Chains A and B, each alone.
Chain A
Amino acid sequence: MTNAGAISRRMAIGALAAGGLGFAAFGPRGGKERSDGRLVLDYWEKWTGHEGAAMQAVVDTFNASQSRLFVRYLVTNSIHQKALVAILGGAPPDVLGMYAFNVPSYSEANAVMPLDELAPRAGLSLEMYASGMRPIMTYGGRWYATTNTAGTLAMYWNKALFRERGIEGPPRTIADLDAAHAALTRTRPDGTLERAGFLHMEPGWWSWIWGYFFGGTLYDPATDTARADSPEFVRAYEWMQSYPRGLGLDRVERFRSGFGPYGTPQSAFLTGEVAMVVQGPWMANLINAFAPELDYGVAPMPVEASLYDEARPVTCIDTDVLMIPRGAKNPEASMEFIAYTQRQENVEKLATAHCKGSPMAAVSEAFLAGHPNRGVRLHTAMASSPRAFVAPSTPVWPEFKDVFDTSMQDLWKLAEPAAERLPKVQATASKLLADAAGLRRRRGEA
């Protein structure tokens, strides 16, 4: 049976074939060469907004500086998930902008290229970086990542509120911090909190760091063991629990629930609802944008009295990294671009725009003098402190951290004493590490 209006099989097949040919001829492709003969490098990065624009400016100057390579800056959200899929599918970008915590898992899986030979050929050496940055850039004794900026954590304190309460200078020890907190905390006549001196959960991004300020360490890379239940960590989290206990848990939780999110003018430090917060150098960007009148100071996070050493502050380094994924079409070209971003002038230009510190060992006076963060000298110096620490360098860290985050919330909510909860965290973390080691052995890896 035929129908004049019906599509014949021949027509249908023809249409499908024409569509296929059209797609093949004009469809999307991973073109690696421009019409001017320049090799195209795809650079995936998570930075957007002003941070993205600053990196784009570095990319633009690189593209203008030579005529062989052309870098395409591609903003990629959920970059970890997309990078996994791209590397797995054999179609990775040429340069990957990731988080520090990605370095161990990507390195161990051989998903990124070691830079031990590539980087020196491009004029880079590990010694060019501040000592505190190097553990982030390396894994298992090999060099896998570079970094454009440094995020050392420090205490931001509201000078006006300190003056109002007659407190001189920022706290140096935990006892000083407790005293300042008590003096700065203010209650309304109806009993609700109007202001808190310090709250560990504001912003609550680094739940695992407090033990370090009591002399502890969460992970020993030499033995691949966790130390979450060390006496130092127990002391630190008992100290943390003294805050909701002293303020009244429900009262402080109600108070916290009204804080605006980070990145808004309603965030607690900007509104003066919290007088001291532990934050990275990027905090000054927020202050400059939303509360330029805020008179703030930057100091190292206080430590237990016996640990105080002005020349060797304790700080956590949290930063972003650049890596070359395994399967990148031209690793030498990728490295050439990365090396360009690591030049002092480019690092300092980017770090200034991002309001972060420089990761390099050598820093120019112009950078320090012109930086939007008045505490940049401290932030930069802390990157070279022998007591700077980074997140545990193990592939199981994301899961370990989740365990810690959940426990931290329970501890903050006084669900269990620290001395009872931390051994459980330790047991879970030890099992995670042991399981990962077992799987490595099963795979025949070292």
Chain B
Amino acid sequence: MKARETTAGLLWSSPWIVGFSAFLLVPLALSLWYSFTDYPLLKPPVYVGLANYKALLNDARFWLVVKNTAIYAALVIPLCTILALALAAALATPRLRLARFFTAIIFLPTLVPMMATAMIWLWLYNARYGLINNILAAVGLPGPNWLENPAFAMPALVLTALWGVGQMVVVYIAAINEVPAALYEAAMLDGMGPVRRFWNVTVPMISPAILFNVITLTIGSMQAFVMPYVLFRNERGQRAAGDLYNLYLYDNAFVYQKFGHASAMAWMQLLVVLALTGLMMLAGRKLVYYRRGK
């Protein structure tokens, strides 16, 4: 009976197993192999050992994209987390009028296709006709040349990431609503004000949600592609300042036909993401509070 159940289970899950193997496991294994080869796609791969990894470590553009991506992630992760937490705390306030309406408004940008959002930002950042600089001009401030001045390219990119915090806000609101009201009552009886209640009650109680969001944000920010591609790959964009890791990976694979390099980059990225996720999970053991049951 047990064997029959196992067979039936395997049979029913076979479409997923086949799909997972064919479209993830096998490509993953192949990409590891390709990372040790010279593989220009149109010719068969030839084993080159660690040459791709060595070449990348001696490649100025590789280090530029690593630096840019690290800066981007270092800015996006805390800023998005703080903004999402602040918005969620405000929207989860009991008796707030139109809370659902505002939540929907904040969530709405995440429903817009990334490409469309990127095109909107492209025009918002236009130095002459863009809305942002026109608003700055209305209050007497000189608007920068957002996308073409290297000093402003990265802040401009980070600002676009803040636009997409809606999903995090929804997760935080759900988590905040799960915090037992008795804890807030006890904190109020202890004389805690709203800020201390947020810091000493809300944040610890929603820490699993924060850990989840920070991990997904870390992975997402290290894999940013569409927004920098649209903002900085047009003929007027500042390529170098907005050059992120995945753009170079894409170039290697599909523009320069250096699939070995691209695979090496993908594996290096995977290892870094795994290491960072592991570190965060490790830190989470001490910093994150998991409630057991209700």
Contact = CB atoms under 8 A, between A and B. Distances in A.
A238 B145 CA distance: 24
A111 interface: yes
Interface string A393-410: 001101100100110011
A163 interface: no
A253 B148 contact: yes
A12 B14 CA distance: 12
12 contacts: A9-B8, A88-B42, A109-B40, A255-B128, A257-B236, A262-B235, A395-B257, A399-B255, A399-B258, A402-B251, A406-B240, A413-B238
A250 B151 CA distance: 13
A258 B41 CA distance: 40
Contacts of A204: 235-236
A394 B132 CA distance: 44
A187 B120 CA distance: 30
Interface of A: 9, 12-13, 80-81, 84, 87-88, 105-106, 109-111, 201, 203-205, 250, 253-259, 261-262, 395-396, 398-399, 402, 405-406, 409-410, 413, 428, 435, 439, 442-443
Q: Which 6 A-B pairs have the closest CB atoms?
A: A258-B128, A109-B42, A257-B127, A204-B235, A111-B42, A399-B256
Contacts of B238: 409, 413
B11 A413 contact: no
Interface in B207-237: 234-236
B240 A410 contact: yes
Contacts of A12: 11-12
Contacts of A257: 126-128, 145, 147-148, 236
B48 interface: yes
A300 B126 CA distance: 33
Given A84-B257, A399-B256, A105 B128 contact: no
Contacts of B41: 84, 88, 109
A261 B234 contact: yes
B129 interface: yes
A105 B145 contact: no
Contacts of A428: 60
B239 interface: yes
B155 interface: no
A112 B60 CA distance: 33
- Which of B8, B126, B128 has its CB near the most chain A CB atoms (within 10 A)? B128
B55 interface: yes
Contact of A106 (B42, B46, B254, B255): B42
Nearest to B149: A253
B258 to A, nearest CB: 8
A439 B259 CA distance: 14
B42 A110 contact: yes
B145 A254 contact: yes
Nearest to B257: A105
Contacts of A250: 145, 149
A253 B11 contact: no
B4 to A, nearest CB: 9
Q: Give chain B's interface residue range (CB within 8 Å of chain A).
A: 20 to 34
Contacts of A106: 42
Given A204-B235, A409-B240, 7 more contacts: A12-B11, A88-B41, A105-B40, A109-B42, A257-B145, A409-B238, A413-B148
A34 to B, nearest CB: 31
Contacts of A395: 40, 257
B150 interface: yes
B42 A105 contact: yes
B27 to A, nearest CB: 13
A428 B256 CA distance: 15
Contacts of A406: 239-240
Nearest to B234: A261
B82 to A, nearest CB: 31
Contacts of B149: 250, 253
B42 A87 contact: yes
- Which of A13, A110, A261, A399 has its CB near the most chain B CB atoms (within 10 A)? A399
Interface string B247-285: 000010011111000000000000000000000000000
A443 B46 contact: yes
Contacts of B257: 84, 105, 395
A238 to B, nearest CB: 21
B43 interface: yes
B40 to A, nearest CB: 6
Contacts of B43: 109-110, 443
Nearest to B253: A81
A442 B46 contact: yes
- Which of B38, B46, B235, B258 has its CB near the most chain A CB atoms (within 10 A)? B235
A257 B239 CA distance: 15
Contact of A405 (B128, B239, B256): B239
Nearest to B60: A428
Contacts of B147: 257
Nearest to A80: B254
B128 A396 contact: no
Contacts of B42: 84, 87-88, 105-106, 109-111
Contacts of B126: 257-258
B103 to A, nearest CB: 35
Contact of A398 (B11, B239, B256): B256
A444 B130 CA distance: 55
A9 B189 CA distance: 62
A400 B276 CA distance: 34
A91 to B, nearest CB: 14
B145 A9 contact: no
- Which of B8, B147, B234, B254 has its CB near the most chain A CB atoms (within 10 A)? B254
A439 B148 contact: no
Nearest to B8: A9
Nearest to B145: A253
Interface in B14-58: 38, 40-43, 46, 48, 55
Nearest to B4: A9
Nearest to B260: A439
A445 B192 CA distance: 76
- Which of A87, A106, A439, A442 has its CB near the most chain B CB atoms (within 10 A)? A439
B256 A396 contact: yes
Nearest to B15: A16
Given A253-B145, A257-B128, A413-B150, A442 B48 contact: yes
